[in-house]
Amino acid sequence: MMQSMAFDWTVFGLTLAALVFFGICYALLINWMSKKQVNGQTAYMVVGGVAVALIASIPTFGLFTVSILFSYFAGCGLPMVIEYGMRVHAEQRKDLEAATAIAKEAIEAEEPGDDKQAPDR
């Protein structure tokens, strides 16, 4: 037997319109962050978008149902966010170590009496 529930199409339509507006604004924010080279934020931006969608669905589905869905998203999403954060941190550390090594080589090449120094012209 199918279970039916009362559904308010006006609330649904207004919520959907608000979410489309939010999505446009959020996309503009993400684009701006990309142009400013704010890196390592992808997973957190996805979590933010999902959280807004879940919160916005409370008037349509009720707090109890949305709480259950939030728990499901958190259960599968948290390990992904942790992995993403660890991976981004490791990549940034690796980049910093490589940049430090290049800078050290450049400084050592400029030291007087070093065989690596370019000949005078």
pLDDT tens digits, one per residue of 67-104? 999 999 999 999 999 999 999 999 999 999 999 999 99
CA distance 39 to 49: 17
4: in domain = no
Residue 33 counted as domain residue: yes
Report if residue 105 sits inside a domain: yes
Measured distance CA(14)–CA(49) in Å, rounded:
18
Q: How many domains does the chain have?
A: 1
Judge contact between 110 and 117, C-beta under 8 A. Answer: yes
Which has the closest alpha carbon to 56: 21, 5, 18?
A: 18
Four-residue CA torsion sign, 48, 54, 56, 58: negative
Residue 119 domain-assigned? no
Give the residue numbers spanning the domain of 81: 9-109
Q: Provide the percentage of residues in the chain whose pLDDT is more than 70.
A: 88
**Does 3 fall in a domain?**
no
pLDDT mean across residues, the chain: 89
